[in-house]
A = this chain, B = another copy of it.
Amino acid sequence: MLAAQRRTLLLDRLARDRRVIAKDIAAELGLSEDSIRRDLRDLAAAGLCQRVYGGALPASPAIADYTARQAVSVDSKQRVAVAAAALITPGSTAILDGGTTALAVAQALPATLSATVITHSPTVAAALGTHPHVEIYLLGGRVFKHSMVACGAAAVEAASAVHADVFLLGVTGVHPDAGLTTGDPDEAAMKRALAQRAADTYVLASAEKIGAASRFTVLPLDAVAGIITDAPASDDTLDHLTARGVPILRA
């Protein structure tokens, strides 16, 4: 782990847990507390966190949000993202959903990839800006702040004009009965509209999503071409899904 990565890890934890304890992080990373303290001191000097006795607190909600975008490497989402990125083949057209996992997919695309990516997420589009050979098509509309995606009637309308080979769909739950779910009705409608515009829909489902269900159904399970997950092979929910004929792609 690079020292610079450790700092983003600290900011990430800060955003997630709303606090950081120097001793715990030192033990977790196998470093001396001195190094962690030095990091926290420097981050505080840069205004990125607030130093307190025993650890640190977030500097402000805005900063915490900003840093949360820079996810740290080898975690569950990253594995799923790398596997999903392989589905966007050179020359193809893909629809990329919003959310943190889809953002990780955008960042995991090889820098040399030549393809067309359609997205309703400004964050994803911004991340794709560093890929010189990726054509970006942005779907506009009212931006739903929680997940930073364009939703609503205008966005659905804009989606109706596109066609793609694959749609990489992010959800908050994959459940044997409830199907694929998310937390907002407008978001669900937008995802549903996007699924209709692609030949194949693949679901991005890091391990914690498997077996979970949110309030609004996006699609039934049999409407997708595959579910990409890093959940362990012995997962009961996955066995149910496999029994129903839903292809599981191991990340």
Q: Which residues of A contact B (CB under 8 A)?
A: 2-5, 8, 11-12, 14-19, 21, 48, 50, 52-55, 57-62, 64-66, 69-74, 78, 82, 85, 107-112, 120-127, 129-132, 135-143, 145, 148, 150, 154-155, 158, 161
> Can you report 9 A-B residue pairs in the complex whose CB atoms are below 8 A from each other?
A15-B107, A15-B109, A62-B131, A122-B136, A126-B148, A129-B148, A136-B145, A138-B138, A138-B150
Contacts of A127 in B (CB 8 A): 61
> Are B73 and A111 in contact, with the CB atoms below 8 A?
no
Given contacts A138-B122, A140-B140, A141-B138, contact A52 B107 (CB under 8 A): no
Look across to chain B and name the residue whose beta carbon is closest to the beta carbon of A146.
B129
Question: A140 to chain B: which residues have CB within 8 Å?
Answer: 120, 137-141, 150, 155, 158
**In the complex, what residue of chain B is closest to A147 when comparing beta carbons?**
B129
**Do residues A53 and B16 form an inter-chain contact, with CB atoms below 8 A?**
no
Judging by beta carbons under 8 Å apart, are B78 and A18 in contact? yes
Contact check, B143 vs A57: say whether CB atoms are below 8 A apart.
no
In the complex, the 9 A-B pairs of residues with the closest C-beta atoms, listed nearest first = A140-B140, A122-B125, A11-B111, A4-B52, A122-B122, A136-B143, A62-B130, A18-B73, A61-B126
Smallest CB-CB separation from A123: which chain B residue?
A: B126
Structural contact, B52 and A3, CB atoms closer than 8 A: yes
Pick the contact of A143 from B62, B111, B138 — CB < 8 Å? B138
B145 and A110 contacting across the interface, CB-CB below 8 Å: no
Given A111-B48, A138-B141, A66 and B123 touching (CB < 8 A)? no
Give Cα A150–Cα B120 distance, bound, in whole angstroms.
12
Q: Which residues of B contact A14 (CB under 8 A)?
A: 111
Q: Give A30 Cβ to nearest chain B Cβ, in Å.
A: 16
Say yes or no: B122 contacts A18, CB within 8 Å: no
Cβ-neighbour of A129 out of B85, B137, B145 (below 8 A): B145
Q: Which residue of B lies closest to A125 (CB)?
A: B122
A52 to B2 CA separation, bound complex (whole angstroms):
8
